[in-house]
Amino acid sequence: MPITAEKMSRYPGGSIYSKVWRCFRAFILFRAGNRCEGTPDRPGCRARNGAAHPETGSKVVLTIAHMDHDESHADPERCRALCQLCHNRWDAAHRRRNQANTWRGKYAAADFISELCE
């Protein structure tokens, strides 16, 4: 999923292309042994970066996940290297909440009308 410019600016160094972020990413990948570190829901995932994913068969591209969904820090204790499957599953509930909040903001009148009709 592409990162918006507003979100990009929250990353340490101001971008995922900054030296600060690239060094942090390299450290996390090194710590993880270039494998997925898994999530509390999927602790056993150890998909290897660049290889075929054992479950999906797609090429694994490890990403750095902020486990607390706060992109403004570079805290190794709160970040993990995750494969696409783990990262998308970990972020799914957070994305749904954001989507619902965005929808409510855009369509507040529709919410109001639907509440009146109940």
Characterize 77-113 residue by residue with b for buried, 16 or more Cβ atoms within 10 angstroms of its Cβ, and e for exposed: eebbbbbbbbbeebbeeeeeeeeeeeeeeeeeeeeee
Outline where DSSP puts E strands in the chain: 63-66, 79-82
Of residues 105 and 54, more confidently modeled: 54
Q: Which amino acid, 99?
A: Q
Tens-digit pLDDT profile for residues 27-58: 999 999 999 999 999 999 999 999 999 999 99
HSE at residue 89, side-chain half, CA atoms within 13 A, is 12
Over 70: is that where the pLDDT of 115 sits?
Answer: no
Cβ(28)–Cβ(74) below 8 Å: no
pLDDT (tens digit per residue) in 7-25: 888 888 888 889 999 999 9
